Structure 1
Amino acid sequence: MKYRTLGRTGWDVSEIGFGAWGIGGDAWGQKDDTAALAALHKEIELGVNFIDTADVYGDGHSEQLIAQVRKEHQERLIIATKAGRRLDPHTAAGYADRQKMTSFIERSLRNLEVEALDLVQLHCPPSEAYAMPEVFGILDDLIKQGKIRSYGVSVEKVEEALQAITYPNVQSVQIIFNMFRLKPAEAFFAAARQHQVGIIVRVPLASGLLTGKFTAQSQFASNDHRNYNRHGEAFDQGETFSGVDYATGLAAVEELRDLVPEGATMTQLALRWILMFPEVTTVIAGAKNEQQASDNVQASALAALSDQTMHRIQELYETRIKAQVHQRW
């Protein structure tokens, strides 16, 4: 495992992190806590020290599982969580509600069984929130109170990311970036480097499309967002298959197959491609069992991709994917 420094925190985090949405038990079909815990233990044993979760993943269940695992390891783990999606209604004004936001933080402290949260990220707030300094002032005060150590944002749009990093104490931005979502690399990555802001990449496998395991006949459970959110029925469409039409994504994956390095998997190609960008700090891939965990981690040891491979992936995006997603996020 290789490590990269997260923003200005001074923390060296594994370039493959653990994305804990799936183990929360909601939005990904059937859950299996035993397999999820085994996956988390396996990644830590293989050098992963960065875990990303949120207070709404399984209504706190994901945080609670992480707390259980943390107590069984002596390694220093950096645990990032998110706050804000518990707001009902989910409005920008809610993020400026000091009492509500503080209560969310205190709930995560209890779930994770820690005295202070390493990294709190605003959980994809409405765009208007980024123009409200009082929202970030609440986070500054929570740092002064010792309840959080640092904070960042999780965003849907590149424009939100660019606005967020103008606030001086934003340490990280979590954003969707993968072979089907290239826009962040155009301007945001350079700006993040200039501001010394860490980049946490989520949805690196386009909700599993980039594992190469799906077909037109693949079925998803009724409580799996890949079934019920393909058009943004429940939350932002970009979170499901990166906003790419399923059939289009399958066709693009077929063109990617011959780019997979010998002895590697499609998953590892997708993760290694992201790590080719030095501005990226860590890639949070989900894993629901030990095999997926091992597969993810091994991407860190994969040799650098060739210029030819990088060019072909860019070309594929331009010809097959860009028109669907580029202008939206």
Structure 2
Amino acid sequence: MRLVTYNIEWFAHLFDDADNLMLDGKPSGRYGVDRYTQGRGIAHVLQRLDADAVMVVEAPNTGRKQRCTRALERFAAEAGLRTNIAVSGFATETHQEIALLYDPTVLTVEVDPQSSQETPGFDKSFLIDLDVDDRMDRVRFSKPPLELRVSTKEGVALRLIGAHLKSKAPHGADNAKDVVRLAIANRRKQLAQAIWLHRRVTDHIEAGEHVIVMGDLNDGPGLDEYERLFGKSSVEIVMGSELTDPHAQRLLKPREIVLPSTSRFYNPETKSYLRALLDYIMISHGLEAYAPRWRIWHPFEDAECYDNIPLREALLAASDHFPVSLDLELT
């Protein structure tokens, strides 16, 4: 079985208000890429991945008229994908949903959000003292994680959680002091979300369930200087000792010369590209018995992706993130 997490940059811009796919020469949400080129690139990548399920981060919008699942299923039909059924959870406030496209002949999928006194539902509020002032702060997800109960045709039960943690970018800063203040506040909020998510993972593992957390955590050990104020990154908090991901674990070791990455961002000011490891598939230890194999489909770090020119160009056109796949021997 192959599972994939894929942050598709501004996928929503390829659909009109009635969720009709727009493949034309007009600009997409991708810098310097038109809608036709991005749409064709996404389709090519998803066809090549040939996954049993794809966690789509930054999926199309759900709103007053639009529906994320309808847009994704129309795209899947246009692209001829076998992952032709879509599910999503709580709608986000950002036009960037979290959704799963899956093959119904391989998997049975049910949206199954959880809630407890210690770990409230991801559409609710989480109370935590963020700044150690003996007062509880109220934290919410702008992008509530997607919680799924999944069963394979062979009868293996899985808990999938799709996540997109809030960015730490200091939006709205007017000066250098504001940048620092907002960056620290955003870091606190993101770490609180990570604690919240980890508690849900722990609940499932204590219940004896297989758990997979997949998505864009927008963070990693050593990613910025504010981490020193808090001691751990949100990636380390979510993973804890209960989950494993070989790419995340490489970041926890003494610094290597070359580290993996899952994203490539263009900086128009410096006219250069920045790379970062932001996307993960973390599994509970019980799944290690199923011969897990991870792969980052990076066109400049994976030799097969680079040598396959149509795939390389499609990956570069589709998004500023690259897919991460996990293969498990569940059959």
TM range (shorter): 0.3 to 0.5
The one of the two structures with greater contact order (alpha-carbon pairs below 8 A, sep at least 6) is 1
TM-score (norm 2): 0.39
Query: Normalized against structure 1, the TM-score is what?
Result: 0.39
Report the structure, 1 or 2, having the larger helix content: 1
